[in-house]
Amino acid sequence: MSFLRRRNGTDSSKTRVADPNIKKDGADDDDKKKDQYKIPQRRNYGSKKWSCWDNCCWFIGFICSIWWFCLFLYNTMPDSIPQFVTMAITGPLPDPPGVKLRKEGLTANHPVVLVPGVVTGGLELWEGRHCAEGLLGKRLWGGSFGEFYKRPLCWLEHISLDNDTGFDPPGIRVRPVTGLVAADYFATGYFVWAVVIANLAHIGYEEKSLYMAAYDWRLSFQNTEIRDQSLTRIKSNIELLVATHGGKKVVVLPHSMGVQYFLHFMKWVETPAPRGGGGGPDWCAKHIKAIMNIGAPFLGSPKSIALHFSIEVRDIAALRAQAPGLLDKDVLGLQTFKHLMRMFRTWDATFSMIPKGGETIWGGLDWSPETETVNNSAKKGTDNSTRNTGGNGNICDTKGVNYGRLISFSKDWAETHSSKIERVDFKHVAKGDKLTNSSNCDIWLEYHEMGNRAIKAVADHKVYTAGSILDLLHYVAPKLMARGASHFSYGIADDLDDPKYDQYKYWSNPLETKLPNAPDMEIYSLYGVGLPTERGYIYKVAPPSDCSIPFQIDTSVDGDSEDSCLKGGVFSGDGDETVPIISAGFMCAKGWRGKTRFNPSGIRTYNREYKHAPPANLLEGRGTQSGSHVDLLGNFALIEDVLRVAAGATGEDIGGDRVYSDIFKWSERINIKL
């Protein structure tokens, strides 16, 4: 640096010799005084030459100054200007539902309990290993993800649970964040509950009448009680809310997995003390006015299968197809997928999302509730016509799609009629025949205990339905499933009075529990429709390598036509991008409708569907009419429904059922004893 400047100096000294002479010659007497001032200035500044370095510095400085100036202007600008600009472009924005309803005279009435779903709740660190020093009380999940993006392996270590117990590993305590901050924003600017909360606040809600039932969404539901007493806390808080609001019952808003969690809670709270909360048989009737399930995966979601099987979903698979080597690269020592899979498989809660009800609900090899039974080609015409007439219900061409086959190995097997498929049983194939190098793999996965023959056997079975998928998972990850099976169950109860159903593992499965005895309660299922939702997958065996996951979604497979439901190896159905309609709507449309054996006291149920409409322009952000799984929480129509119910309206008052899809037709096709 100094060297450069010195060189400049010598340079300038040369020119300077000549400079003053010229100046003096041309100068008038009048200007002499000015010149005396000017000349030395010129000498110093004018004679400097630009080196590249100076240019760079100048440029950076220039940019910086302008940037700061703009920043300064931005900060001094009144906050109303951006809004003003938006108004000018899009015309006056519609009032958010809170403001609108406030003008109508609605005020806070029933206290509101929010139950966040999987992934969206924040987790914070209370005790950690050495690598996480100084991060106590920082968010490990949600928020800005704290400092952990700098140390990914450390993060993985802390966020994973113990593979045997399903609790924290020794020396690590990661706990849910409590309060509304737990799930108002998932990451900065990505709202989850924030919009709902803001609108509730408009009609008078505040901290004392809102409660975020935060829980550790990684744990199995009963374990949240064992470790954190989460269920007891929810019970105590609901009782407090009811007591401080003069006996007004609460309105519960569970979202996503929170739906099942709350189902579990309702069962737990009425079970006598040692195993349950000991609230007595009429606790729910006394404390709960309505449960408004948002994006409810009552019967699970096929997405979880792909996650369990190969830690992929549609988007990840597509990404992998784009840059095949990148994510799998062992060269970089990343092994992202295997790390993620290992982490994911330690989370018991993910088992709750595995499709429930087996083939009865999700369809068998040749039928599924979403499609007309295509026995022969003669039906083709009618099939087309239904699509055209009821067209708004379908998002793609469902002709010939076998949704019942959740996993098929190759497109052919996905389409051929079942009678033509020869399936080989895989369960008896010994798992031995280990890959030679598998012991070197530093990341433990149960796949490494499988040999080539076992992998081949799995692929040879060709097609899996919601029933056989459980066998498959049991086969590829026996330990994992053993742990999961002790906390969750996926069947359909034949006799609900069987004493075995008192066990907590059945509590979160609506097909194996009775609803509480609370005839005044209302159950809503609010969900988005009109988005392609993963419903089935086409898999392939991954090119063999020592330490990789042996199965992959076959992203090269596409449907025949433009609007085929098969794209990139994934069969899509209608839903909210995560939960298919059948899972979200069936219980309220049929399973619990009227007095059934699942709903002995005849709790009223309502289906409210919200048709997805993408945001009109960028300024709307994630849209006020979105139907997507999380963005639905910002849907004005949904918020309005929620506010009205919270302010005291009943399901009939807000208009009863509101259905766009064929959920009632599909439910009829499901043959279940009620």
Partner 1 sequence: MASVLRFRKLCYVESAVKCTSVGYESFEIDEKLDEKEEDVLSANNFALEINKKRKQPKRQPKEWRCLDSCCWIIGYLCTTWWLLLFFYHCLPVTLLRVPELPGPGVRLKREGLTALHPVVLVPGIVTGGLELWEGRPCADGLFRKRLWGGGSFTQIFKRPLCLLEHLSLHHETGLDPQGIRVRAVPGMVGADYFAPGYFVWAVLIENLAKIGYEGKNLHMAAYDWRLSFQNTEIRDHALTRLKSKIELMYISNGYKKVVAVPHSMGVIYFLHFLKWVETPPPMGGGGGPGWCAKHIKAVMNIGPAFLGVPKAVSNLFSAEGKDVSYIRAMAPRVFDSEILGLQTFERVMRMARTWDSIVSLLPKGGEVIWGNMDRSPEEGHVCDFSKKSHSKTSLTTNNVNNSDVKRGFLVKDLANYGRIISFGKPASVLHSSKLPTADSKEFSRTSTSENFNNFSCGEAWTEYDEMSRQSIQNVAADKAYTTTTLLDLLRFVAPKMMRRAEAHFSHGIAENLDDPKYNHYKYWSNPLETKLSDAPDMEIYCMYGVGIPTERSYVYKLSPNSRCKSIPYQIDNSVHGEDGSCLKGGVYFADGDESVPVLSAGFMCAKGWRGRTRFNPSGIATYIREYRHKPPTSLMEGRGIESGSHVDIMGNFALIEDIMRVAAGATGDEIGGDQIHSDIIKMSERINLGL
Provide, rounded to whole angstroms, the least separation between the CB of residue 508 and partner 1: 22
| Residue 171 interacts with partner 1 (CB under 8 A): yes or no | no
CB 353 within 8 A of CB 578: no
Q: Is 576 a catalytic residue?
A: yes
DSSP secondary structure string for all residues of 509-547: -TTSSPPPS-TT-EEEEEEEESEEEEEEEEEEEPPP-TT
Provide, rounded to whole angstroms, the least separation between the CB of residue 238 and partner 1: 11
Provide, rounded to whole angstroms, the least separation between the CB of residue 623 and partner 1: 20
The dihedral sign for the CA sequence 392, 398, 404, 406 = negative
**Between the CA of residue 83 and those of 77, 86, 559, what are the distances in Å?**
12, 5, 45
* Residue of 160, 209, 230, 256 with catalytic role: 256
DSSP code of residue 95? P
CB 174 within 8 A of CB 124: yes
| Residue 134 interacts with partner 1 (CB under 8 A): yes or no | yes
Amino acid identity, position 162: D
CB 138 within 8 A of CB 455: no
Cα distance between residue 220 and residue 488, in whole Å: 8
Binding mask 73-112 toward partner 1 (x if CB under 8 A, else -) reads --x---xx--x-----------------------------
* Residue of 576, 631, 641, 662 with catalytic role: 576
- Name the residue nearer to partner 1 (CB basis): 58 or 444: 58
Q: Interaction with partner 1 in 148-167: which residues (CB under 8 A)?
A: 150-151
CB 260 within 8 A of CB 293: no
| Residue 173 interacts with partner 1 (CB under 8 A): yes or no | yes
CA-nearest of 662, 645, 646, 663 to 654 is: 645
Among 13-21, 328-336, 341-349, 595-603, the segment contacting partner 1 (CB under 8 A): 13-21
Provide, rounded to whole angstroms, the least separation between the CB of residue 295 and partner 1: 23
- Name the residue nearer to partner 1 (CB basis): 46 or 478: 46
Phi and psi for 109 in degrees, rounded to 5? -130, -75
Q: Interaction with partner 1 in 59-78: which residues (CB under 8 A)?
A: 59-62, 64-65, 68-69, 72, 75
- Name the residue nearer to partner 1 (CB basis): 89 or 99: 99
Among 125-133, 341-349, 465-473, 530-538, the segment contacting partner 1 (CB under 8 A): 125-133
DSSP secondary structure string for all residues of 264-316: HHHHHHHS-TTTS----TTHHHHHEEEEEEES--TT--THHHHHHHHS--HHH
Binding mask 526-565 toward partner 1 (x if CB under 8 A, else -) reads ----------------------------------------
Q: How many other C-beta atoms can be found within 10 angstroms of the C-beta atom of residue 278? A: 15
Q: How many other C-beta atoms can be found within 10 angstroms of the C-beta atom of residue 360? A: 18
| Residue 179 interacts with partner 1 (CB under 8 A): yes or no | yes
- Name the residue nearer to partner 1 (CB basis): 56 or 613: 56
Provide, rounded to whole angstroms, the least separation between the CB of residue 250 and partner 1: 15
Provide, rounded to whole angstroms, the least separation between the CB of residue 97 and partner 1: 15
| Residue 385 interacts with partner 1 (CB under 8 A): yes or no | no
Phi and psi for 354 in degrees, rounded to 5? -65, 140
- HSE (side-chain half, CA atoms, 13 Å) at 201: 9
CB 218 within 8 A of CB 205: no
Number of residues that bind partner 1 (CB under 8 A): 69
Among residues 143, 159, 184, 337, the one that binds partner 1 under rule CB under 8 A: 184
Among 133-141, 317-325, 457-465, 521-529, the segment contacting partner 1 (CB under 8 A): 133-141
Q: Interaction with partner 1 in 187-216: which residues (CB under 8 A)?
A: 194, 197-198, 201-202, 206-208
Cα distance between residue 372 and residue 492, in whole Å: 23
| Residue 514 interacts with partner 1 (CB under 8 A): yes or no | no
| Residue 14 interacts with partner 1 (CB under 8 A): yes or no | yes
* Residue of 629, 631, 662, 667 with catalytic role: 629
What 3-state class would DSSP assign to 211? Answer: strand
CA-nearest of 584, 578, 586, 575 to 361 is: 586
Among residues 18, 70, 243, 323, the one that binds partner 1 under rule CB under 8 A: 243
DSSP code of residue 548? S
Determine whether 8 is exposed, middle or buried from the number of CB atoms within 10 Å of its CB (0-12, 13-18, 19+). middle
| Residue 13 interacts with partner 1 (CB under 8 A): yes or no | yes
What 3-state class would DSSP assign to 487? Answer: coil
Provide, rounded to whole angstroms, the least separation between the CB of residue 610 and partner 1: 24
- Name the residue nearer to partner 1 (CB basis): 230 or 661: 230
**Between the CA of residue 377 and those of 79, 221, 373, 374, 409, what are the distances in Å?**
63, 47, 11, 7, 24
| Residue 9 interacts with partner 1 (CB under 8 A): yes or no | yes
Among residues 11, 157, 372, 502, the one that binds partner 1 under rule CB under 8 A: 11
| Residue 34 interacts with partner 1 (CB under 8 A): yes or no | no
Cα distance between residue 48 and residue 579, in whole Å: 69
Cα distance between residue 564 and residue 632, in whole Å: 26
- Name the residue nearer to partner 1 (CB basis): 198 or 654: 198
- HSE (side-chain half, CA atoms, 13 Å) at 418: 15
- Name the residue nearer to partner 1 (CB basis): 14 or 427: 14
Binding mask 42-61 toward partner 1 (x if CB under 8 A, else -) reads --xxxxxxx---x-xxxxxx
- Name the residue nearer to partner 1 (CB basis): 201 or 340: 201
- Name the residue nearer to partner 1 (CB basis): 46 or 281: 46
Q: Which helix (H) or strand (E) holds 317?
A: helix 314-322
- Name the residue nearer to partner 1 (CB basis): 51 or 438: 51
State the SS3 of 591-657: HCCCCCCCCCCCCEEEEEEEECCCCCCHHHCCCCCCCCCCHHHHCHHHHHHHHHHHCCCCCCCCCCC
Joined tokens for residue 615? 């945001």
Q: Interaction with partner 1 in 340-359: which residues (CB under 8 A)?
A: none
| Residue 392 interacts with partner 1 (CB under 8 A): yes or no | no
Cα distance between residue 298 and residue 355, in whole Å: 9
| Residue 244 interacts with partner 1 (CB under 8 A): yes or no | yes
- Name the residue nearer to partner 1 (CB basis): 207 or 425: 207
Q: Is 256 a catalytic residue?
A: yes
**Between the CA of residue 176 and those of 213, 637, 674, what are the distances in Å?**
10, 30, 38
Among residues 20, 23, 39, 228, the one that binds partner 1 under rule CB under 8 A: 228
- Name the residue nearer to partner 1 (CB basis): 202 or 264: 202
Residues binding partner 1 (CB under 8 A): 5-7, 9-15, 41, 44-50, 54, 56-62, 64-65, 68-69, 72, 75, 79-80, 83, 126-127, 133-134, 136-137, 150-151, 173, 175-176, 178-181, 184, 194, 197-198, 201-202, 206-208, 228-229, 232-233, 236-237, 239-240, 243-244
- Which residues are known catalytic residues? 256, 576, 629
